[in-house]
Amino acid sequence: MKLANIRIVMVETTHPGNIGACARAMKNMGLSRLHLVKPARFPDNEAFARAAGASDLLDQAVVCDSLAQAVETCGVVIGASARRRSIAWPEFNPRECAEFVAPQSDEVDIAIVFGRESSGLTNEELDCCSHLVHIPSNEAFSSLNVAAAIQVVCYELRMQLLQGEGVQGEQAVLDQLATSEELEGMYEQMQQVLIEIDFLDADKPRKLMRRLRRLYNRTALERREVNILRGILSAAQRQARLAADSQ
């Protein structure tokens, strides 16, 4: 397990104190890579004050314009959500999340994404995520402070590290997972083909693409598998165009 390949992404954090508390929580647990998507105030004295001895993480924090940019190179993107969603993404609790992440982190970059204090993550941002992690808190009062949520998730990652690499054998046979960018390319092509073969109505897409993402996300697609699927899509597209031309 490589904690160095695991990044924490905070999306549009309002309070710089939370960014500092996050840096401290991460460093306590041995994580070091912090990405900030459009933070309201950063750098900021309050962030450094709350980080205590973890200001090095703030110095190295990467500030991004969009979530897509923050997770571009990642093979696994997990969104932390305080709420259950209308379409259930595959959902972990923090322990299951850490068990899943541990073997993958040897191979690919991994992002765990935390939302705004006021409103969490949007559905579009969740579309960038292959899985959700939910801390099974009191259902009547489920939302933790964002830095506290990060602490819980990072603690479970550390526990996995300390437990050693027991689950690695099974995962070692896996090929390299496709990156978020490669998956986005596939979904784009898929949508295009589904429109061309009249399966998807561009004016009434409903939730088809989101449901397909959910289906594929459950399988943790490898790069080679994405290439096969894209090959099939291209072949379907060629046939559809030939059929259209001969009409």
Q: Give the residues lining the site for ligand SAH (CB under 6 A).
A: 80-83, 114-115, 117, 119-121, 133-135, 137, 142-144, 146, 149
* Side-by-side strand order, sheet with 109-114: 62-64, 33-37, 6-11, 109-114, 74-80, 131-133, 91-92
Instruction: Between 83 and 241, name the residue whose CB sits nearer to ligand SAH.
Output: 83
* Smallest separation (angstroms) from ligand SAH to the CB of 111: 12
| The two three-digit tokens of residue 91, written as one number | 């959902």
Instruction: Between 118 and 246, name the residue whose CB sits nearer to ligand SAH.
Output: 118
Residue type, 167: V
Dihedral sign (CA 155, 157, 158, 164): positive
Instruction: Between 32 and 137, name the residue whose CB sits nearer to ligand SAH.
Output: 137
* Smallest separation (angstroms) from ligand SAH to the CB of 80: 4
Instruction: Between 29 and 186, name the residue whose CB sits nearer to ligand SAH.
Output: 29
* Smallest separation (angstroms) from ligand SAH to the CB of 23: 15
Instruction: Between 113 and 221, name the residue whose CB sits nearer to ligand SAH.
Output: 113
Write down the H helix ranges in the chain.
16-29, 45-51, 55-59, 67-71, 94-104, 123-127, 146-162, 168-172, 180-196, 208-217, 223-245
Q: Kindly give, in sequence order, each residue whose CB lies less than 8 Å from that of residue 200, ignoring residues fewer than 6 positions away.
A: 191, 194, 208, 209
Beta bridge partners of 110: 6, 76
* Smallest separation (angstroms) from ligand SAH to the CB of 231: 36
| Contact predicate 77/128, CB 8 Å | yes
Write down the H helix ranges in 105-172.
123-127, 146-162, 168-172
Instruction: Between 107 and 117, name the residue whose CB sits nearer to ligand SAH.
Output: 117
* Smallest separation (angstroms) from ligand SAH to the CB of 145: 7
Instruction: Between 18 and 190, name the residue whose CB sits nearer to ligand SAH.
Output: 18
* Smallest separation (angstroms) from ligand SAH to the CB of 190: 28
* Smallest separation (angstroms) from ligand SAH to the CB of 12: 10
Q: How far is 36 from 26, CA to CA, in rounded Å?
A: 14
Cis peptide leading into residue 136 (ω within 30°): no
